[in-house]
Chains A and B, each alone.
Chain A
Amino acid sequence: MLDYGAIQISMREWIRTEPATDHEIEQASKIQPGMYEVYSNKLDVALDEARTVFVRTGVSAFLRAGDLVVGLHNAKGDLVCASCGTYIHAAIAQLPIKYIIDLYIKGDSNVKVKPGDIFYTNEALVGGLHNPDQIAMMPIFFEGELIAWSSAAVHQQETGAIEPGGMPQTATSRHDEGMRLTPIKIAENYEIRDDLMDMMVNFISRAPQMQEIDVRARCTATDKLRQRVQELAQEIGPDCVHGLFRKMIDAAESGARARISSWTDGVYRSVAFVDTTGNDETLLKVALAVHKKGDSIHLDFTGTSPECEGSYNTYGHGVAAFLATYLYPYVFHDLPVSTGTLTPFTFEVPDGSLLNAGHEKAVCNCVYLGRSVISLCFDAFTRLLYSTDPSRAVAAPSSHSGGGSFKGINNIGWPISESFSFTLNTDGQGARHDKDGMNAHGFFYSPWGKTNNLEDFEEHGIFLGLTRRHFNDAHGFGKYRGGVGTQNMNVVISGPVEVTSRGKGSRIPHDNGVFGGYASTSLPGISIIGSDALDLLENEVDFPVSVRELVVDRSISGDYKFERINRSNRTLETGDIWITLSSGGGGFGDPLERDPNSVLSDLNNDLISNWTARNVYHVHIKNGKLDLNKTKELRSNELQSRLHRGTNYNDFSNNWSKKSPPIPVSTF
C-alpha cells in the first residue's frame, strides 16, 4: 500500500545526492586529465541530441517550444547532467527514479527493473510538480549491470481533470485533477505496451492523439540517450562510466561551494503575497530567509501561510525545483546542471504550509505559487550577491502573466487541448545592475524555450491572432527598467472553444524591483464577448492593436469583461475575443536616476506612456523633444517632495500597523 506520509518525507531526502560508494571514488580517481573534459562534454552532446529528438517527435505546444528536459542519472538515480529546456525538473527528475529503485529494486515487489523497460509517471507526489508533468524514465544496462538512467519530462496540457487544460482553477483536492499515475512500466523489451497506452489515452480523451504522440516522444528521447550511454560504456568500460559520473557530480558541488564561499555572510529576507487560491480571492504569504554562511546556504520558509483550499499549493520537494529554476540560468549558469550543484543547499519548509501541502491537496497550480518562491529567490539572492558579484544581481522577472489553455476541434478534426504559450514565453526579464531587462525574454521556467510561431497557433483553425506585441507600462520602472512583456489578443474564428487562463497578482503584484526599482504592475483578465472584430476585418476597417487603447476607444464593439487574471473554464463562440497579458520584470535602482534619453527612447518605442515619463521618471518631454534643464528641475523638486512626504520609521510604523487589508493574511 502507498504510504503517503513516508513518500513525502522520502522525496525531501531524495533531493540530496546519495553518498558516494568506495567503488565510485576509486574509479573517479582514475579519470585521467583530458578524459574528464572529453567524456563529460560527450555526454552533454548526447543529451542535446536526445533533447532535439524529443522536440522533433512531439506535438503539443510546450513540447514544441522546448520547455522540457532530458536528464542523465547515475545508477542510484542522482542527476549527473541534463539538457534544458526547463530547469524545473533538473532538481526533481531524480525523485521518481529513486522511488522506482526503492520499491522495485531494493524492495520486495513483483515488478522488476530490466533492460528495455521504460517507466512512466505523472504523480506529483513522487517527483513532478503537478500532474501535467509527465516523465519517462529508462534504466540503462550494460552487460547485465544497471549503470545509469535516462529521463525525459515535459508538461502535458491535458490531464483529464474537472476542467480542460490540466490546471483547473476550480480544483480543491487531488480528486479534481484527473490522471495521476505512480510510476508504471509503460515499455518492456524496448516496446511500448498498447494496453497501458490505451489506458492513458482513455484518461486524456479530450486530446487523445496529443497524449499518445507525446508519450512516444518522451520514450524516444530516453531511448536515444540510452543508446549513447551504452556506446560510451562500450568505449571506456562501465567502471570508468561510474567514475566519470562521480567526478561530474563532485565537480558540480565543489564549483557551487566555491561560488557560495565568495559571497557575503548574512541573512537576506523577502516576502511575496498570493491573492488567489484559483477559485477565490485570498491573501496568502510566502516568506523566505536565505541564511548564507561559509560555503552553504539554508533556505527557511517559516512564516509561509498554511496550505489553501484551492490549487495554489505545492508539495515539499517543489521548493528545490523552484530554487533550481532561479539558480541555473542566473547564478550557476556556468556550472553543470547536476544534483551536485544543489548539495550546498538545505531547506526548512513548514509542514502543512502552502509549500509543503498534504497529499490530498490540489497542487495543479503550484507553478504559480512557485513563481512567488522564485521571485523571492531573485529578491534575496540579488541582495546577497550585489556586494561581491553585481553582474549576477538581477531583479525578478515577470511571473504572474496570464497564459492559459484552450480546448476545441482542430482543422483536421482532432480534439485538442492546447496552450496560449506565446504569453508564457514572452515574459519580461528583470532589470540588471547595468542594463534594462530583456523585453519579451521568454518563459522564466524555461529560458531555453522559444515562443511558437503565430502560424503554429493559427493552423489549428480555431483562433486568428489580432495582436502580438510589447505591452507598455506593465514592467517595473527603475534606473534600469524591467524587460517588457506582451499583449496577445485572439478572436475565435471557429467556435465553440473552451478557454481558461492562469496566473495571479490582479490585486497585489510580486515581481519585485530591487534597490528602489519598482515592481511590475497588476493585470486584469480581459475578454470581449460578441465582438464585431471579424466583420471589421472582412470590411477592412482599422482598429487599435493596443489593448490599453482599445479598452478606452472601444472601436471593436462587444461586451468588455474585466476579471481576475486567472479565469476558470468557459466557452467562447465565433467572434469572441480572448486577451492574455504578460507583465514585465522588476526595475533596478531609483527611477530618478534613469538616463532621460532612455526614457525618451522608451516613450518613442511605445514601451511607456507620457504619464509614466512625467510622473515616475520626472522627465520633461514636449513635442517629442527632451528638455534636460526642465528635467533637472523636476527631479530636484521630486527629491524635495520625498523628504516632505517621508516620516521617521517609528512614526510611520505606528500609523501603518493600524491598517489592514480587506482579507487578512492567512497565518497558522
Chain B
Amino acid sequence: MVSVEITPYLDINLDSEMWVCSTCNGDLIECSSNYKIGCSVAERDPSEIHHSEIDTDYKFSPDSNWCKIIEFYCPHCGAMIENEYLPLGHPITHDIDIDVDQLRKIVSEDPGDLRIKS
C-alpha cells in the first residue's frame, strides 16, 4: 500500500485510488472526485462558533441570513477534515483536485519532499 499525505487529515492511497481519512484510515471516495463528496456534511449557524455579546443588526458574528458554515467530517470517526463559509445555497468548492497520474509518476521516480506512508 502506498499512501501520500495531501493534508493533515487526508491521504491519497495510490493502490486503491481512494481518498483516505488519515485519522482512522477509513476510505472516503475515489481520489478523482472531490473528497467532500465522501464526507458527512453539516450546516452550522455562524453563531454556534462565533459568539456575540450583542444581537444588533451588525454584531461580532457573521450574519446567519447571509452565510452558514459547512463542515465536512470523516463519516467513520468524525474528524473535521474541512469547513467553508458560504452564502446560502452557494455550490460547494472543489478545493483540491490533484493530478493523480502525475503524482503516481513522481512517487515512483523521485518522491522528493512528499511524505509517503507504506
Residues of B within 8 A of A498 (CB): none
> Could you tell me which residues of chain B, from 40 to 98, have a CB within 8 Å of some CB in chain A?
40-43, 46, 48-51, 53-54, 56-63, 65-67, 69-71, 73, 75, 77-98
Residues of B within 8 A of A517 (CB): 83
Instruction: Tell me whether B58 and A273 are in contact (CB under 8 A).
Output: no
Residues of B within 8 A of A387 (CB): 4-7, 114-115
Least CB distance, B100 to chain A, in whole angstroms: 9
A645 at the interface (CB under 8 A from B): yes
Least CB distance, B62 to chain A, in whole angstroms: 4
Cα-based distance from A379 to B58 in the complex (angstroms): 26
Instruction: Tell me whether A524 and B59 are in contact (CB under 8 A).
Output: yes
Contact of A508 among B66, B77, B103 (CB under 8 A): B66
A19 at the interface (CB under 8 A from B): no
Instruction: Tell me whether A522 and B93 are in contact (CB under 8 A).
Output: no
Instruction: Tell me whether B42 and A551 are in contact (CB under 8 A).
Output: no
Contact of A589 among B8, B89, B91 (CB under 8 A): B8
The number of residue pairs between A and B whose CB atoms lie closer than 8 Å in the complex comes to 208
Contact of B96 among A275, A383, A643, A646 (CB under 8 A): A383
Instruction: Tell me whether B48 and A615 are in contact (CB under 8 A).
Output: yes
Least CB distance, B56 to chain A, in whole angstroms: 4
Residue of A nearest to B9 (CB): A515
Contact of A264 among B54, B75, B80, B98 (CB under 8 A): B98
Residues of A within 8 A of B38 (CB): 649
A521 at the interface (CB under 8 A from B): yes
B113 at the interface (CB under 8 A from A): yes
Cα-based distance from A563 to B66 in the complex (angstroms): 16
Contact of A262 among B99, B103, B112 (CB under 8 A): B112
Instruction: Tell me whether A642 and B71 are in contact (CB under 8 A).
Output: yes
Residues of B within 8 A of A380 (CB): 95
Instruction: Tell me whether A512 and B99 are in contact (CB under 8 A).
Output: no
Residues of B within 8 A of A440 (CB): none
Residue of A nearest to B90 (CB): A665
Residues of B within 8 A of A665 (CB): 87, 90
Residues of A within 8 A of B51 (CB): 473, 609, 611-612, 615
Residues of A within 8 A of B2 (CB): none
Size category of the binding interface on chain B: 35 or more
Residues of B within 8 A of A611 (CB): 51
Residue of B nearest to A652 (CB): B41
Contact with B along A432-443 (1 / 0, CB 8 A): 010000000000
Residues of A within 8 A of B61 (CB): 521-522
Residues of A within 8 A of B67 (CB): 273, 507-509, 661
Residues of A within 8 A of B70 (CB): 656
Instruction: Tell me whether B82 and A647 are in contact (CB under 8 A).
Output: no
B18 at the interface (CB under 8 A from A): no
- Indicate whether A473 sits within 8 Å of B63 (C-beta atoms), given known contacts A265-B103, A645-B42, A652-B41: no
| Interchain Cβ contacts under 8 Å between A and B, 19 examples | A264-B103, A265-B98, A267-B97, A268-B96, A273-B67, A283-B87, A383-B95, A386-B8, A387-B5, A508-B87, A521-B60, A522-B50, A522-B60, A523-B60, A552-B54, A642-B73, A657-B89, A658-B89, A662-B65
**Which residues of B come within 8 Å of A, CB atoms?**
4-9, 36-43, 46, 48-51, 53-54, 56-63, 65-67, 69-71, 73, 75, 77-99, 102-103, 106, 112-115
**Which residues of A come within 8 Å of B, CB atoms?**
262, 264-271, 273, 275, 283, 293, 379-380, 383, 386-389, 433, 473-474, 477, 479, 506-510, 512-513, 515-519, 521-525, 548, 551-552, 562-565, 589-592, 609, 611-612, 615-616, 638-640, 642-643, 645-650, 652-653, 656-662, 665
